[in-house]
Structure 1
Amino acid sequence: MRTPAAAIWQTVHTERRRLVADLSDLEDAQWRTPSLCPGWDVHDVLAHLVDTARTGRLDFVRGLLAARMNFDRANERGIARQKRHDPKDTLEALTHATSLTRTPPASLETRLVEAIVHGEDVRRPLGIDGTYPEPAIAQALAYQLRTPVAFGGGRERAAGLRLVDRTTSTAWGTGDDVEADVIDLLLAVSGRPVQQNRFAGAGAARLVAAATRTTPDRKARDR
């Protein structure tokens, strides 16, 4: 059953507010902590979230055209646009953007991917435990699995694998089994490094390798 847009936005807005709260007490040096998103530190990810929260369909198209259809270049320009000298000011900007419902011309499920994956991009390196609604994680994972890597998804990373949520036994795909918590499956499919001991099954090593394999323009392609 299709999740109503209002329910997706409610989850996204809640996750934005939770992230603001989690980052509110960071020390200056912590903002420079490398995130799970290749090449970006915690402050960069925060600025990216501000930019995407403020970017609607027309702004997205204009920005992409200005970046000569290069998603990575467009993302870097967005970070430069929204990254304040003081990270606390960037955090304040996200505070004011938490309830916005702007989105690029893509499936609304990309907002779930962004809120959850980028949330873990900063929380895990900082040692902050993140919890997310499991149905939202599963919906984000299903979207990533049907979307090519070139468009911010992870379909190729999971090719030939059967991913199994160890909590609910929900499975996606066919092939060698990879069993894990659904959040770890989502991160790996989205190209994030996850410790192999979090996975079980004959396909575990292959998924971990695919998640950490670098490509020339991999940076931040998950939007």
Structure 2
Amino acid sequence: MGNTGHLHPKSVVRAAIAAERRELADVLAGLPASTWDEPTLCTGWRVREVVAHMSLGFRYSLPKVAAELVRAGGSLNRMTDRCARKDAADFSTEELVGFLRDNADHPWKPPVGGFVSALGHDVVHGLDITVPTQVDRKVPEDRLRILLDAVDPKGFKFFGAQLDGIQLRATDLDWTFGSGSPLTGGAQDLLLLTFGRKLPAGRLEGPQADRFVLS
């Protein structure tokens, strides 16, 4: 994500992060036990693995992250997958929810992108859970605006987003991005596309909508 500090002050972004974590904790606390074992938009991860992953930055010190990276042969993807699976097995769902709620104000942020990327991490992984499990949650517009303002094609490759020749057009906000064949949908669904996600059928419209549907 690009640096949008000039558009959104750090204090505003951090307040959005804290609110998102607390609201997600409330949503997760209300899930039926069976839902924790349902698949998410993160391939191979159930709800419990995604929630475990969301709190990794709060629970792992930098030396521990470095050690896990070495164990994974330097692969960030292998490291995060291994840790998510281990932690999902080691902690109860109540503990996993607690990690998110208790660290609402934690200053963790990814190596690139600062607090805007930290907000994106929480919002997108929350949607990874709520979209496929059909939890009716709409991310507040102010948080979506911060993230949509930060959409940058430079980040598409990292997330595997293939949006060349596509113009994203939100149906619920005044927002478009890119040029080419129109692809319309709700703003939070379009945000997921920029993070390389595919969506359940019926959420997008456009000549190339089928490219972005879960198989």
The alignment's TM-score, normalised by the length of structure 2, stands at 0.82
Matched, 1:105 2:111: yes
Q: 2:138 aligns with which of 131, 138, 159?
A: 131
* Shift of residue 21, structure 1, vs aligned partner: 0.7
Q: Is the 8 A contact 1:180 1:198 kept in 2?
A: yes
Matched, 1:161 2:166: yes
Report the counterpart of residue 49 of structure 1 in structure 2: 54
Matched, 1:92 2:98: yes
CA deviation vs aligned residue, 1:101-141 (integer Å, no higher than 9, x gap): 11231102221221111111112233321122324324424
Higher relative contact order (CA 8 A, sep 6+): 2
One-letter amino acid matched to 1:5? K
One-letter amino acid matched to 2:98? E
Shifted more, 24-33 versus 79-88: the winner is 79-88
One-letter amino acid matched to 2:198? P
One-letter amino acid matched to 1:162? Q
Q: 2:204 aligns with which of 193, 199, 202?
A: 199
Residues 171/56 of structure 1: CA separation in 2 closer, same or farther (3 Å cut)? farther
1:135-214 correspondence to structure 2 within 5 Å: 135-141=142-148, 143-152=150-159, 154=161, 157-206=162-211, 208=212, 212=214
Gap regions ≥5 residues in structure 2:
1-5
CA deviation vs aligned residue, 1:64-90 (integer Å, no higher than 9, x gap): 344333121121233245433422122
Gap regions ≥5 residues in structure 1:
214-223
Report the counterpart of residue 122 of structure 1 in structure 2: 129
The alignment's TM-score, normalised by the length of structure 1, stands at 0.80
Superposed CA RMSD: 2.6
Shifted more, 122-131 versus 168-177: the winner is 122-131
One-letter amino acid matched to 2:141? E
Percent identity at matched positions?
Answer: 25
Shifted more, 15-24 versus 83-92: the winner is 83-92
What secondary structure, in the 3-state scheme, does the structure 2 residue paired with 1:179 have?
strand
Q: 1:14 aligns with which of 19, 24, 39?
A: 19
CA deviation vs aligned residue, 1:161-203 (integer Å, no higher than 9, x gap): 1111122332111111112111111122323232343222334
Shifted more, 164-173 versus 63-72: the winner is 63-72
Report the counterpart of residue 9 of structure 2 in structure 1: 4
